[in-house]
Amino acid sequence: MNLRTAAGYAVGDFGINLYFISVLTYLLYFYTDVMGISAAAAGGVFAVARFVDAVTDPLMGFIAERTRTRWGRMRPYLLFGAIPLALISILTFTVPDTDMAGKVTWAYTTYILFGLIYTVVTIPYATLTASLTQDYQARTKLSTYRIGCAFAGGFLVSVGTFPLVNLFADEAVGFQVLMLGFAVVATALLWVTFATTREVVTPKVEKISIKDSLLAIGRNPPLLVVIGIFSCGMLSFTVRQTTTAYFFIYNVGDPSLISWFFTLTLGCMLVGIWAVPSLAERFGKAGATRLGAYLTIVACIGFYMTPYDAITAIFFWGCLVALGGTPVAVLGWAMIPDTVEYAQLKHGVRADGAIYSTASFFQKLAKTLGGAGVAFALGFAGYVANAEQTPAALETIHILLTLVPVAIMLVLIVLTRIYSLNREQHAQIVSQLG
């Protein structure tokens, strides 16, 4: 695989993460503190919209792997889906001129539509990894480039959102203009990915039945374990990203630190990501992921024990938590395509669309649980937007940011011990497939 293809594929995730991190990190805040929806109502929006988003993933996977066009199976969705995704992203961060019931209805409608269109674009995009190369280590490097660009996009959103929004007297206008800018950039980058990639790994069987796709998923033990690992990583990341703004606004009492915190923590991830291929080479993909989980646990405990006024220590532990989450963010995507060949050898079908969409379904389900869980936890603890919070609400925010990820990482560690599809086994599978 040449550098042009790898870079062209990777920049697409920069664009996708302008949307993904905006929604993951700031949409709950936008609903509660800008649009004025209660935390409980926002939790309902998150639960319904993200669940609908998740359940449509397998359907999109089945559609994508059965698509046959002169541009390939996956790439057409990047070309034709980019503009609809841009438009709905802008509308999702728009405050309608209506009463509270109308605002809640608007939130449900736009976020559900965002999830549906996001799925149409991102499932084929993710599946492209398996179509660009069959090489085990090349996939690790390709995923590293891709996640590096994803982190860069996330970095821009996390660091730049509040400074840019605050340029406007009205936060609602600021968010809408910001999303317009993100939409223009993301659309252009998705079209770059379309133009610079080619699907060189294609299925030999033209028609895949639903039964074949289900066999490739259900009788694929490595995939099921990877899905668990992937979901744990996303759940931990979602809870931390969603809670961070609340922590600095209410627990620390200094909203200006939010951008600085994201600058340093995501900067650490951008630097640390380039060590992931070496770690995977030495310890295997599962082993490298496990090392990251150990670091996350230690750092989260240190974070929890740190007083709110110890800003330097908060930033230190936050950087270590970010570094610990880096391997699973990269290697989850590098492990999934290996399970495609496993299923192809065992069941005689290359159901890459079904496999990726199933993994994405559970990842989004984890995101649903994380986002809605934070909203419901805040509501249960008595959170009131733009007001002094009760001790119970402050402690809930603190626990969500620090101790909840510890519990999640313990589960992830167990799963990495179970995973068995290493480089040697994968090489044998590819050799047998010819």
d(CA 326, CA 267) in angstroms, rounded, equals 11
Check residue 203 and give its pLDDT.
61
d(CA 60, CA 216) in angstroms, rounded, equals 16
Query: What residues does each domain of the chain span?
Result: 3-433
d(CA 250, CA 387) in angstroms, rounded, equals 9
Q: 70 CB contacts (<8 Å, ≥6 apart)?
A: none
Check residue 207 and give its pLDDT.
64
Check residue 73 and give its pLDDT.
84
Q: pTM surpassing 0.85? A: no
Domain 3-433 in this protein, CATH class:
mainly alpha
Contacts 24+ apart (CB under 8 A), 252-255: 252/308, 252/309, 252/311, 252/314, 253/308, 255/162
Check residue 71 and give its pLDDT.
87
Contacts 24+ apart (CB under 8 A), 91-97: 92/23, 92/27, 92/179, 93/22, 93/27, 93/30, 93/175, 93/176, 93/178, 93/179, 94/172, 94/176, 95/34, 95/35, 95/172, 95/176
d(CA 74, CA 356) in angstroms, rounded, equals 12
Check residue 342 and give its pLDDT.
87
Q: What are the 10-residue block averages of pLDDT along the chain, 434 residues in total?
A: 83 95 90 91 88 83 81 90 97 95 96 95 86 75 85 87 90 96 97 90 64 82 92 93 92 92 87 88 92 97 97 97 91 84 83 80 84 89 89 96 97 94 82 76
**DSSP collapsed to 3 states, the chain:** CCHHHHHHHHHHHHHHHHHHHHHHHHHHHHHHHHHCCCHHHHHHHHHHHHHHHHHHHHHHHHHHHCCCCCCCCCHHHHHHHHHHHHHHHHHHCCCCCCCHHHHHHHHHHHHHHHHHHHHHHHHHHHHHHHHHCCCHHHHHHHHHHHHHHHHHHHHHHHHHHHHHHCCCCCHHHHHHHHHHHHHHHHHHHHHHHHHHCCCCCCCCCCCCCHHHHHHHHHCCHHHHHHHHHHHHHHHHHHHHHHHHHHHHHHHHCCCCHHHHHHHHHHHHHHHHHHHHHHHHHHHHHHHHHHHHHHHHHHHHHHHHCCCCCCHHHHHHHHHHHHHHHHHHHHHHHHHHHHHHHHHHHHHCCCCHHHHHHHHHHHHHHHHHHHHHHHHHHHHHCCCCCCCCCCHHHHHHHHHHHHHHHHHHHHHHHHHHHHCCCCHHHHHHHHHHHC
